[in-house]
Amino acid sequence: MDTGHDGARLRVALDEARRLVDYTGREVTTSAPGPVAAHAVVEGVHHLASALAGLVNALIERVPAAVAGSGRDEHAANEVVADLRAMHGCLTTGVLLLEPTLDDLHGLVRQRADGEPDGAATAVPDAPFPD
């Protein structure tokens, strides 16, 4: 059941996520990231876009019931679902477009690691962000 408290809690969680993304953006723009940092950021954006696509998909599934419960008409629910489907498509496309970028950056990081003596380069983590 949706309550004002639930909405406030969700808003706070999403505001915190936005603040973390803003922080990362400032870090990237104030200093040039090396290949390892660039890979970590792109991989993080990839994970974030995937998570956002999942969140939008969950909304698509739940909006009709939420709108019906509010006494609004079915047309409004259909419009919201159509908009969310478009957003989901964009996010999913973005995730797919980042995959070649990740591959390219991974190759650059590996080349750098192979070219440095004694493996001095930092290894690229498999999953820098918890699921």
pLDDT one-digit tens code per residue, 38-60: 899 999 999 999 999 999 999 99
Judge if pTM exceeds 0.85.
no
**Which segments in the chain show pLDDT lower than 70?**
1-5, 69-72, 113-131
- Tokens at 72, concatenated: 């609004």
Q: Where are the domains of the chain?
A: 1-31, 34-131
Contact 109, 121 (CB under 8 A): yes
pLDDT of residue 2: 53
pLDDT of residue 124: 42
CA gap 13, 5 in Å, rounded: 12
pLDDT of residue 32: 82
